[in-house]
A and B are shown apart, each in its own frame.
Chain A
């Protein structure tokens, strides 16, 4: 299954996952609370620079940058249509900043490290009946399945292009769902065997 984590080590790889996640959450809250275009503009610029500084480590998520830019354009367009240019610019700057930070976190943090942080964060909830060890596994599995969806989507799309000359798009959703339900069944078998229950 394809992974968004990059093995090219950047300076950010050395930072502990908990720290990165905490900073991301904090910055997210701050950016939403702030409303000035200059500040947000600076923040977005800083995030761009941070992202760029990771160099080759950003390779796994470069294709997502196009999606990000598209989202920014559409967001601006939506706000423009409502006559709210200022709000549009603010939204776009926040989007840029937070997305680039999140992507930087994704490529520089091995999923297992993220998971360790989640598990410790969830442990207090055990008193309420939430099984944090199972939850961690479910989250890891969710990430794995997410990667697998993309890999499978790519394969189906390639097959579709070969046979029809066009991209598959949403037409592939139904066969993709079938394949993934199948994959889930096999993964369930593996889980049952390896975990014992």
Chain B
């Protein structure tokens, strides 16, 4: 169960987070908010990719940044663009990479990857070149590569962004089936409305934290309000000083 205590993150000149404390205990947590609110940064802190300037980020009692070999078993993350995270040219190699940590021999990993694919009815995907797969299929490969490592916590950074509608529903169903804890950031609110806990991040602060249906509704309303305000501001013609009557 990940926990942030008094975390401050400064990147260059920008302060991303300031004295942020969170206990992320729910099984399903959604993360919503405008671009630049800090969603990806939060995930990077949780993975240990970034080190907080102050405070601590702990996963299962260990500092996230100090994790090394045990990290893939504890925490896994899926990035937005499958092309930037697929390392190997074939599906089975890509999945085998998730298993080649520590001293595990590559051949064993490859064998396990093949068994994993067969068990899911995707045996014919084993030797296939990733480049021959469609965008949605590639994202599925990323998903499988994440699953096969069996992390206790899964972070999904805008996973629905490049999926078509059937793909989105399929991913929803997959997420619902999982035993492990899942944190998911998205702009498509319907996917997290049913989550037991959703965090609304705004400029590095938690603006709302509660059941999915409430927080999503509050955020949507806020966005609509800001939108209508900006439309009104743009629509009003500029008034010159002497023109008022």
Contact = CB atoms under 8 A, between A and B. Distances in A.
A1 B131 contact: yes
Nearest to B81: A186
A110 B127 CA distance: 8
Interface in A66-124: 110-112, 115-116, 119
A193 B127 contact: no
Interface string A184-196: 0011011111111
Interface in B84-129: 84-90, 92-93, 97-98, 100-102, 106-107, 110, 127-129
Contacts of B70: 196
A144 B129 contact: no
Contacts of B49: 189, 192-193
A195 B72 contact: yes
Interface string B128-145: 111110000000000001
Q: How large is the interface on A (under 10, 10 to 19, 20 to 34, 35 or more residues)?
A: 20 to 34
B12 to A, nearest CB: 15
Do most interface residues of chain B lie in helix, strand or loop, or is the interface mixed?
A: mixed
Given A193-B72, A194-B149, A1 B89 contact: yes
Interface in B24-72: 47, 49, 67-72
Contacts of A119: 106
B77 interface: yes
Interface stretch (A33-41, A42-50, A135-143, A160-168): A135-143
A11 to B, nearest CB: 17
A192 B67 CA distance: 10
A141 B93 CA distance: 12
B219 interface: no
9 contacts: A3-B129, A7-B132, A116-B106, A116-B107, A186-B84, A191-B87, A194-B145, A196-B67, A197-B69
Interface of B: 47, 49, 67-72, 75-77, 79, 83-90, 92-93, 97-98, 100-102, 106-107, 110, 127-132, 145, 149
